[in-house]
């Protein structure tokens, strides 16, 4: 079982194609590419953290049902659908986390939020902050990663590899 992380899929959101200059001709094409890329790397028994802006549509059933892995969602600025959904029907596939969430992966503190922060829990002690929202448009800083799909060719990041990569670049 692998652990993945992503953000800003914006399923069903046509305007995001223009806003982020995504290489898709329609929202249908974008949604299909995102689902295909997700399922190419995320296995059914994997865990995937999604750091917000999952979908702009009111009905996310069609997306959740087609995506591999257990989705742990940190809500974002466009996840209005959460207020109108009966989340009990997604018990096995989707869990909603707090807007600021912290966990340990490979012994490293990972702080997750939809929004980028300048400082976060244990930031001066080597913890890593993963976020979305900025679509790769703000400068990266040490130990802070924009994990949105716009930053990884529309694929999720492997969170364990990101932790190892961060440790390697910190020692160069």
Q: Of residues 170 and 19, which shows the higher confidence score?
A: 19
> In sequence order, which ranges of the chain are alpha helices (DSSP H)?
15-19, 27-41, 61-64, 159-170
Joined together, the tokens standing for residue 106 give 């490979």
Residue 116 φ/ψ, nearest 5 degrees: -70, 145
Look up the CATH number of the domain holding residue 70.
3.60.21.10
pTM of the model: 0.94
Looking at residue 91, its pLDDT comes to 72
pLDDT-based confidence at 172, cuts 50/70/90? very low
Report whether pLDDT(171) > 60: no
Looking at residue 78, its pLDDT comes to 86
Range of the domain at 93: 3-170
- The number of domains in the chain is 1
Tell me the mean pLDDT in the region 90-108.
90
Residues 110 and 12: their CA atoms lie apart, in Å, by 29
């Amino acid at each position: 079982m692998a652990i993945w992380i992503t953000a800003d899929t914006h399923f069903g959101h046509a305007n995001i194609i223009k806003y982020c200059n995504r290489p898709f001709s329609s929202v249908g094409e974008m949604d299909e590419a995102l689902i295909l890329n997700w399922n190419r790397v995320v296995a059914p028994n994997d865990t995937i953290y999604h750091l917000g802006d999952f979908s702009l549509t009111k009905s996310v059933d069609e997306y959740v049902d087609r995506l591999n892995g257990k989705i742990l969602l940190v809500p974002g600025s466009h996840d209005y659908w959460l207020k109108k959904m009966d989340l009990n029907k997604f018990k096995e596939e989707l869990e909603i986390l707090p807007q600021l969430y912290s966990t340990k992966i490979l012994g490293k503190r990972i702080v997750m939020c939809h929004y980028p922060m300048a400082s976060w829990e244990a930031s001066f002690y080597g913890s890593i902050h993963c976020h979305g929202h900025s679509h790769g448009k703000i400068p990266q800083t040490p130990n802070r990663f924009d994990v949105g799909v716009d930053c990884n060719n529309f694929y999720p990041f492997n969170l364990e590899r990101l932790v190892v990569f961060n440790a390697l670049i910190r020692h160069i």
